[in-house]
Amino acid sequence: MRAFDFPFETVEISCPVCGRFGRYSKERFVERVGANTPLPTALDIIAKDCPEDRPSITNMQGRCRASYPQLIQMNSPSNPANSAN
């Protein structure tokens, strides 16, 4: 999924390790990271000033866990929209 495809008008980003939390309008988020930027890369852009290193192929010990809580909740098995009928 690209930044432009984000399914909500507000983009939330949080990190359980350092406690950071932020919201962007989707329009501002797209301006900041680029419309065609994949969401994992967009997190790298947004969290670049995090005091913790981001995990990567060359740094599996990185502790930064910035994520999109809206997408996690949306894809959670406890979300009624994901229940089988």
Phi, psi of 18 (to 5 degrees): -105, -10
DSSP letter at 7? S
Q: What pLDDT does residue 77 have?
A: 67
Q: Is residue 84's pLDDT more than 60?
A: no
Domain regions of the chain by residue span:
3-76
pLDDT for 20-65, tens place per residue? 899 999 999 999 999 999 999 999 899 888 776 666 666 667 677 8
Q: What pLDDT sits at residue 69?
A: 93
Read off φ and ψ for residue 14, nearest 5 degrees.
-140, 160
pLDDT at 82 over 80: no
DSSP letter at 46 equals H
d(CA 53, CA 73): 24
Task: Please say whether the beta carbons of 54 and 62 come within 8 A.
Answer: yes
